[in-house]
């Protein structure tokens, strides 16, 4: 009888290092704890920032190119507030929001008087004015009736604030010739601008300019000086009709033909213009306090600018 063939069974035992007592769960728990810590850190940062700063941060993530700087390699801040977030103009700026942020900035300035803080405040206000410019451009560009206006207006954020320059054209004048009577289509534009400007706390200065064509003679009771001042005041009245408060204006000035836009062509129509300047805080303080000090206190010129031998006056 043949011997039965023997079946060989091979058992393989899978060995797990440490079993339930291994270290893999510790790695997962460490990741979870790290994520939780980061989450609470984000919550703390959100709580410690103002609503306006949140809008600036949101604008940065919408336009990361704002971090780049031309020239010296950027600023010492995490966000370059000179950048212009694309979403900020669309979200809008409320008066209460801007005032709340400025009040917090004043409180912080009392605790921290430093160049870094002053610079940060300046960059933040530049950001606000750039946002305001974006809102203005949207209001004008979104209305087909204002197509003519695109060639007559220029906007630029300067050291003084947001400059809105409305230029006269031969075929589309802002005023009747030799008059401060504003054309109806120009009034509609200023009313639309007022709807945006009334939501900000900044003071506004208005400058009226004429060309060099004489209006009357040197002894005339009404000349380019009076005409430019009356036109600046007419622009102020139009903005008030559009919703601006009387107290929002800092200066209404007639410049006559003393500062032509085109110095080589002083009689050109482009020299007839209205400039609406939305002042930043530094310019506003310089104008209001400087004028007050000059009027009330006067003050002698510095000694170094006086000649050493003054003539005697009898």
Q: What's the pLDDT tens digit per position in 186-224?
A: 999 999 999 999 888 899 999 999 999 887 665 667 889
Q: Is the pLDDT of residue 231 over 60?
A: yes
Report yes or no on 24 lying in a domain: no
Triad 268, 270, 271: Cα angle to 5°: 75
| pLDDT above 60 for 146 | yes
The string of DSSP codes covering 137-187 is HHHHHT-GGGGGGGGTEEEEE-SSEEEEEEE--SSS-SB-TTS--B-HHHH
Does residue 253 contact residue 205 with C-beta atoms inside 8 Å?
A: yes
For 209, the enclosing helix (H) or strand (E) is: strand 204-209
- Of these ranges, 240-244, 288-292, 307-311, the one predicted with the greatest mean pLDDT is 240-244
Q: Specify the CATH number for the domain of residue 258.
A: 3.30.1330.60
CB atoms within 10 A of CB 226: 16
The answer on 63 and 160 residing in a single domain is no
| Whether residue 122 is found in the same domain as residue 232 | no
**For the chain, what percentages of helix, strand and coil (3-state, to nearest 5) are there?**
50, 10, 40
Final residue of a domain: which of 67, 99, 131?
131
Predicted pLDDT at 28: 86
Residue 136 maps to a domain: no
The predicted model gives 148-152 an average pLDDT of 80
Share of the chain above pLDDT 70, in %: 66
pTM of the complete model: 0.60
Domain boundary among the residues 96, 131, 166 is at 131
Tell me the DSSP string of 42-67.
HHHHHHHS-HHHHHHHHHHHH-GGGG
Per-residue pLDDT band for 82 (boundaries 50, 70, 90) equals very low
Give domain status of residue 273, yes or no: yes
| Residue 40, domain member (yes or no) | no
Residue 117 CB burial class (10 angstroms; 0-12, 13-18, ≥19): middle
Decide if 88 contacts 131 (C-beta within 8 A): yes
Does residue 196 sit in the same domain as residue 65? no
Question: Structure tokens of 275?
Answer: 């400039």
Other Cβ atoms closer than 10 A to 52: 23
Q: What band does 122 get if pLDDT is binned at 50, 70 and 90?
A: confident
Query: Does residue 46 lie in a domain region?
Result: no
| Count of domains observed in the chain | 2
264-308 per-position pLDDT tens digit: 999 998 899 999 999 998 888 888 887 776 666 665 666 665 566
**Which residues constitute the domain of residue 77?**
59-131
- Please, what is the average pLDDT of the chain? 76
Instruction: Convert the pLDDT of each residue in 131-145 to its tens digit.
Output: 888 888 888 877 777
Q: Do 292 and 170 share a domain, yes or no?
A: yes
**Inter-residue long-range contacts of 172-175, CB under 8 Å, 24+ positions, other chains counted:** 172/148, 173/269, 173/272, 174/231, 174/272, 174/273, 174/274, 175/231, 175/234, 175/272
In 3D space, the residue among 135, 134, 126 whose CA is nearest the CA of residue 161 turns out to be: 126
Same domain, 205 and 151: yes
Express each pLDDT in 48-57 by its tens digit: 877 667 766 7
């Amino acid at each position: 009888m043949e011997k039965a063939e023997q079946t060989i069974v091979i058992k393989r035992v899978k060995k797990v290092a440490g079993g339930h007592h291994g270290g893999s769960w510790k790695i997962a728990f460490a990741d979870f704890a790290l994520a939780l810590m980061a989450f609470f850190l984000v919550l703390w940062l959100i709580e410690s920032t103002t609503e306006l700063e949140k809008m600036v941060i949101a604008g940065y993530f919408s336009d990361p190119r704002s971090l780049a700087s031309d020239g010296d390699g950027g600023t010492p801040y995490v966000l370059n507030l000179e950048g212009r977030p694309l979403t900020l103009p669309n979200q809008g700026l409320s008066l209460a929001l801007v005032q709340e942020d400025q009040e917090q900035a004043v409180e912080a300035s009392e605790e921290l008087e430093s160049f870094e803080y002053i610079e940060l405040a300046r960059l933040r206000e530049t950001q606000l004015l750039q946002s305001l410019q974006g809102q203005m451009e949207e209001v004008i560009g979104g209305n087909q009736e204002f197509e003519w206006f695109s060639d007559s207006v220029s906007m630029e954020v300067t050291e003084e604030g947001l400059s809105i320059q409305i230029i006269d054209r031969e075929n589309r004048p802002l005023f009747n010739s030799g008059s401060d009577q504003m054309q109806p289509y120009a009034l509609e534009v200023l009313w639309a601008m007022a709807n945006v400007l009334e939501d900000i706390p900044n003071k506004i200065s208005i400058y009226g300019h004429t060309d060099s064509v004489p209006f009357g003679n040197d002894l005339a009771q009404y000349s380019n000086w009076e005409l430019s001042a009356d036109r600046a005041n007419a622009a102020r009245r139009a903005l008030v009709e559009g919703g601006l408060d009387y107290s929002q204006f800092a200066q209404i000035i007639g410049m006559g033909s003393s500062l032509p836009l085109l110095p080589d062509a002083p009689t050109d129509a482009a020299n007839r213009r209205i400039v609406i300047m939305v002042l930043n805080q530094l310019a506003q303080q310089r104008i209001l306090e400087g004028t007050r000090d000059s009027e009330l206190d006067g003050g002698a010129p510095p000694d170094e600018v006086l000649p050493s031998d003054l003539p005697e006056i009898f």
